[in-house]
Structure 1
Amino acid sequence: MAATARLPEPVSEAWHWQLHAACRELSTSRFFHPENERGSARDNRERRAKLVCHQCPVLPQCRAHALKAREPYGVWGGLGERERRDLIARGRTA
């Protein structure tokens, strides 16, 4: 069973920022890799996802959520999985 204690409380005010996200109407396949995606295909998909993030008005809120919740997959707040893991490992989740 997944550990959910680290997740933020389900209060709608805490999630309101998502209504303004640039990715809201886009396919999740742009932000989450399919099984066995590797190499340049994965790098290119992630780069395209980050272009959306870098134009997003709620990038700081998205990034803060991803770091606090320790989102393990996908591109969140302009950061890929490895980038988030590195920041969390260095204690930079704020």
Structure 2
Amino acid sequence: MTIDHGEGAEPTSRTTANGFGQLTALPSDFEALFDAVEDEWQDRALCSQTDPEAFFPEKGGSTREAKRICSGCEVKADCLEYALHNDERFGIWGGMSERERRRLKRGII
């Protein structure tokens, strides 16, 4: 019997939690597809409809306006998760500054 894994799919081997191997087939563009779906939240973000300058203030500049916008955003949690996962170093993401995100990562907040 032949299994058709679809165009561009390559069989891969994975080990499951119980230690047994599992053969799966992932399309070669799986990561790109996953990233596109994962980043869909950005289309709904309020910041995408406002001036990006507010979210990247000069050093010592106010973050108040960006945080105000973030407070009413439906994808605030997704945005913060993205910033933490991708180690975003600049700007306001998910209503938090870079310093606040560093503290959050260290468990201070």
TM over 0.5: yes
Deviation at 1:91, TM superposition (A): 8.6
Question: Structure 1: where are the runs of 5+ without partners?
Answer: 1-8
Give how far 1:73 is off: 0.5
- Summarize deviations over 1:36-89 as a string: whole Å, max 9, x none: x32xxx1xx301100000000101100111111111100000101110011112
2:72 pairs with one of 28, 47, 55 = 55
Write out the 4+ residue segments of structure 1 that deviate beyond 4 Å after TM superposition: none
Q: TM-score, structure 2 length as denominator?
A: 0.64
Q: Which structure carries more strand by proportion? A: 2
Q: For residue 31 of structure 1, what is the aligned residue in structure 2?
A: 55
Deviations 1:13-52 (A, max 9, x none): 0100011001112121100023xx32xxx1xx30110000
> How has the CA–CA distance of structure 1 residues 91 and 16 changed in structure 2, closer, same or farther, with 3 Å as cutoff?
farther
Higher relative CO (Cα under 8 Å, sequence separation at least 6) belongs to: 1
TM (norm. structure 1) is 0.73
Q: Cα RMSD (Å) of the superposition?
A: 1.9
SS at match of 2:84: helix
- Paired with 2:39 and 2:75, the residues of 1 have a C-alpha distance of 11
Structure 2 SS opposite 1:29 = helix
Name the aligned partner's letter for residue 38 of structure 2: A
Any gaps of 5 or more consecutive residues in structure 2? 1-30
| Larger of the two Rg values belongs to structure | 2
Aligned equivalent of 1:3: none
Match runs of 1:42-81 below 5 Å: 42=61, 45-81=62-98
